[in-house]
Chains A and B, each alone.
Chain A
């Protein structure tokens, strides 16, 4: 955690029109991301957690401008990505890469592993053509694979190995910022820790900055410096990792944390599980006021009328942002 923010996200929204009927009339809007703001300092890891469908992945894609945000701004190293021409955006992508959720879908089955990892180098014309294969070998050993793997095809590898290949590809251009979109949720439990530790290790060695998207709270705690909790397109709580896990303020965060089993039998004994009622409302028709009120154990009439803003409720020097009237 040092220096000016590398990534500044301001009031980011990503809406999808819902069209129906023969003439494809727009009948509604899915607000996948609705007014999200956060900063990520250079060298920091920001964890982003939430249930499926809460907009975490959409946020990640909008930050990298893989999806065009409906509103809001993303600044990378001080530069507004929305104002870049298509060509300068393409060359800026060198510094910000993505690791995908499914290692089975994220590698082109027709390209050899070496060709996949080499492609970013070809795209940005990094290094002489002859040196790129050496760089590929270097990247493969960096992620713990045999350099001979370059000649083989993705289908010859396991999920964990493929995720390593995906990471090697993301790191090929020496990016400063990596968005990891649930990089472990498609993997076997037994190899998740390997991949997470690899990513931590690479971060320390290469000075990376991560936006780490996940729904596994234990992994997020292990990875992150700060954590943002998302619910239905909004950030409801954002604080440093220890602060958030030790002193959760938002009722949603409390419910999430109460679902994590503890390895300590004494603690596990006293764990009170907060079970949320009902389903996540549709992001096409979110509740009025506070979006969490329909499932919130402490909601009052006020919550249906007033939308609680994200406010700092932390102590001096220890910011803790939360969006709830009663925290």
Chain B
């Protein structure tokens, strides 16, 4: 099963490239303190607003800080928020979807109507309000984004659980006297892992986008801690005259989100049991 999965995944060249790209970027950002040539808040007023050069690969900003360094540190925050928020959202969505699908009846109805309502609320205005009233720390960003991105996972998991709970091995577990929690955790959720994983992957891209949007609006992680989003915001005024300040964080967001989505798509195809092994 595992080999088949890898063979199918490897057939998607874009996904393999994306995975390699994401791993490299992720590793570079994680190792930022080691790799970065300058401190991320190292102000150098003698060399402000310099275009890319050999000493400053991506130029410097209006305080003379090295853009490459800030890209690495900013990616750390952006990717970390993306990953953690996806984990929170996936966990929440899985729990809610599994409870709804497994118990059915009133519980199902109530949970799914809550999901519908959560779906119907426009995310960005709510995010703006929430982040305006909370301290814009990493933890609260993760929680806010996670709390607003569980609905798709909940629906997918619910539909999976509806079919898996009719399997004989679930009946066998019930017949041996297992509790509902045990049946869910050991038998149902592991067999719904494919779609959950796909949702989580796509959630990472989504969370990075939301974080960037909020930071761009000045509501995200606060300076001097860089994120790709607040670097974009800082460069707004000089977009035309100093394009490198906009270009690099913009491209980073674009490619990372694109890569994550490619990975998610390929995962979906590779994990789909109904697709033939071609």
Contacts from A to B (Cβ < 8 Å): 61, 64, 66, 89-94, 97-98, 100-102, 105-111, 116, 119-120, 123-124, 155, 166, 169, 172-173
Contact = CB atoms under 8 A, between A and B. Distances in A.
A109 B174 contact: no
Give the top 6 A-B pairs by smallest Cβ distance, nearest first: A93-B177, A106-B168, A90-B177, A105-B168, A120-B176, A108-B169
B236 to A, nearest CB: 50
B172 A98 contact: yes
Contacts of B167: 105
A100 B172 CA distance: 8
Given A102-B168, A105-B169, 14 more contacts: A90-B179, A93-B177, A98-B175, A100-B171, A106-B172, A107-B172, A108-B173, A108-B186, A108-B191, A116-B169, A119-B178, A119-B186, A123-B178, A169-B172
Given A108-B191, A109-B191, A66 B168 contact: no
B167 to A, nearest CB: 6
B187 interface: yes
15 contacts: A98-B172, A98-B175, A100-B168, A100-B171, A101-B168, A105-B167, A106-B168, A109-B1, A120-B176, A120-B177, A123-B178, A123-B182, A124-B176, A169-B172, A173-B176
B157 to A, nearest CB: 16
Contacts of B179: 90, 123
Interface in B158-196: 167-169, 171-179, 182, 186-187, 190-191, 193
B178 to A, nearest CB: 5
Interface magnitude class on chain B: 10 to 19
Nearest to B167: A105
A100 B174 CA distance: 13
Contacts of A98: 171-172, 175
B174 A119 contact: no
A267 B81 CA distance: 80
A202 to B, nearest CB: 17
Interface string B31-50: 00000000000000000000
A49 B190 CA distance: 36
Contacts of A92: 177
B177 A123 contact: yes
A66 B175 contact: yes
Interface in B108-157: none
Given A110-B190, A110-B191, A120-B176, A66 B171 contact: yes
Contacts of A90: 177-179
A92 B177 CA distance: 8
A102 B168 CA distance: 8
Contacts of A111: 186-187
Nearest to A154: B169
Contact of A66 (B1, B169, B174, B193): B174
B172 A91 contact: no
Nearest to B174: A66
B168 A97 contact: no
Contacts of A64: 175
Contacts of B1: 109, 155
Contact of A94 (B177, B186, B191, B193): B177
B176 A119 contact: yes
B181 to A, nearest CB: 12
Nearest to B1: A155
Contacts of B171: 61, 66, 98, 100, 106
B169 A93 contact: no
A89 B187 CA distance: 20
A106 B174 CA distance: 12
Contact of B175 (A93, A101, A110): A93
Contacts of B193: 110
B169 A107 contact: yes
Contact of B169 (A61, A91, A106, A120): A106
Nearest to B175: A98
Contact of A124 (B177, B187, B190): B177
Nearest to B169: A108
B83 to A, nearest CB: 24
Nearest to A101: B168
Nearest to A94: B177
Given A110-B191, A155-B1, A91 B168 contact: no
B168 to A, nearest CB: 4
- Which of A93, A100, A110, A166 lies at the interface centre, i.e. has the most chain B CB atoms within 10 A of its CB? A110
Choose among B177, B179, B190, B191 the residue with the greatest number of A CB atoms under 10 Å from its CB: B177
Q: Point out which of B167, B173, B176 has the most chain A C-beta atoms below 10 A from its C-beta.
A: B176
Contacts of A91: 177
A97 B175 contact: yes
Nearest to A93: B177
Nearest to B170: A108
Contacts of B177: 89-94, 120, 123-124
Contacts of B182: 123
B161 to A, nearest CB: 14
A309 B176 CA distance: 35
A107 B191 CA distance: 12
B191 A123 contact: no
Contacts of B186: 108, 111, 119
A108 B176 contact: no
A61 B179 CA distance: 18
Nearest to A166: B172
B176 A123 contact: yes
